[in-house]
């Protein structure tokens, strides 16, 4: 039977439980790279140095089954090192779609993040705006790891194993990362900007939902700063500020028209 891929996190957690030492580090990354590729990837790193032979073989077997399913059924590119001779297991699984431009890449990313077979997210939002001078990009994902855990039948385990499960969950490290094209970032944005790409990450919580948002802009001309687009035109405060400016300008024009009308009337008298 095919595994429930919405519970990939639980598979990682079980690995941590079997290790008992908490030596499991994993990451989920998605976004658009500098080559206009939309991508989704899972990286898993496991240290078996403190694990007995039987448990180590179980972990290797589980990861190999996971790699086979992602490669053969879901079309991921999978690079793995789960050989019997190594205690340091690694697995990188990536799904990549090539695109001619950033707009097409954002469309591909939106479609990819909506595919429940491939992503563990409970919700996602992808938005973009291609302009002559400024292009804006935004992505938000929500990961309900706490909900995944609560539906993984942990309560059905014996009390001793439940304790091991809960201890391992607290030690497990899972990182969520977003990547988008960028030349400018909003004020107070914690993302890293390098070589035309912005990346932002956070640790996933196993006690409450984790939500991550990345918003960027790419300026196509020095005449209109991308930061102005980010900080003003797209934010709620910026929209309100622009609205007030429009109201003031409109009021000024009306006042000027009324003044001209009065002056003309006086001359006619």
pTM over 0.75, yes/no: no
Whether residue 186 sits in one domain with residue 138: yes
Whether residue 50 sits in one domain with residue 10: yes
Whether residue 244 sits in one domain with residue 130: no
| % of the chain exceeding 90 in pLDDT | 34
Mean pLDDT across the stretch 69-83? 90
Q: Which residues of 94-131 are buried (b: 16+ CB within 10 A; e: fewer)?
A: bbbbebeebeebbbbbbebbeeeebbbbbebebebeee
Q: 82 pLDDT exceeds 70?
A: yes
Q: Which residues of 72-86 are buried (b: 16+ CB within 10 A; e: fewer)?
A: eeeebebebebeeee
What does the alpha-carbon distance between residue 188 and residue 216 come to, in Å, rounded to a whole number? 12
Whether residue 219 sits in one domain with residue 242: no
Please, which pLDDT band fits residue 246 given cuts at 50, 70 and 90? low
Whether residue 199 sits in one domain with residue 243: no
Whether residue 159 sits in one domain with residue 96: yes
Whether residue 257 sits in one domain with residue 211: no
Q: Is 163 left (phi over 0), alpha (psi -120 to 50) or beta?
A: alpha
**Secondary structure (DSSP) of 36-102:** S-EEEEEEEEEE-TTS-HHHHHHHHHHHHHHHHHHHHTS--EEEEE--TT-SEEEEEEEEEE--SSH
Range of the domain at 223: 5-232
pLDDT higher at 11 or 184 = 184
The domain total for the chain is: 2
């Amino acid at each position: 039977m095919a595994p429930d891929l919405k519970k990939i996190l639980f598979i990682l957690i079980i690995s941590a439980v079997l290790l008992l030492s908490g030596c499991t580090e994993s990451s989920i990354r998605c976004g658009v790279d500098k080559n206009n590729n939309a991508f989704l990837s899972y990286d898993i790193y496991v240290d078996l140095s403190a694990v007995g032979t039987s448990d180590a073989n179980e972990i290797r077997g589980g990861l190999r089954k996971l790699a086979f399913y992602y490669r053969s059924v879901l079309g991921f590119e999978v690079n793995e090192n789960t050989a019997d001779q190594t205690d340091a297991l690694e697995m990188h699984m990536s799904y990549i779609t090539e695109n001619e431009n950033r707009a097409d890449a954002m469309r591909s990313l939106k479609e990819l993040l909506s595919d429940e077979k491939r992503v563990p997210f409970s919700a996602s939002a992808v938005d973009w705006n291609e302009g002559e001078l400024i292009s804006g990009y935004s992505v938000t994902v929500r990961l309900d790891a706490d909900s995944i855990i609560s539906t993984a039948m942990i309560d059905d385990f014996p009390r001793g194993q439940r304790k091991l499960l809960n201890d391992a969950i607290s030690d497990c490290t899972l990182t969520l990362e977003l990547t988008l094209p960028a030349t400018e970032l909003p004020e107070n944005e914690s993302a890293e900007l390098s070589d035309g790409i912005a990346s932002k990450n956070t640790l996933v919580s196993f006690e409450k939902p984790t939500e991550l948002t990345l918003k960027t802009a790419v300026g196509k001309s020095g005449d209109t700063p991308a930061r102005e687009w980010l900080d003003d035109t797209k934010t709620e405060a910026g929209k309100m500020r622009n609205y007030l400016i429009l109201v003031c300008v409109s009021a000024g024009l009306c006042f000027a028209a009324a003044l001209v009308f009065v002056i003309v009337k006086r001359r006619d008298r």
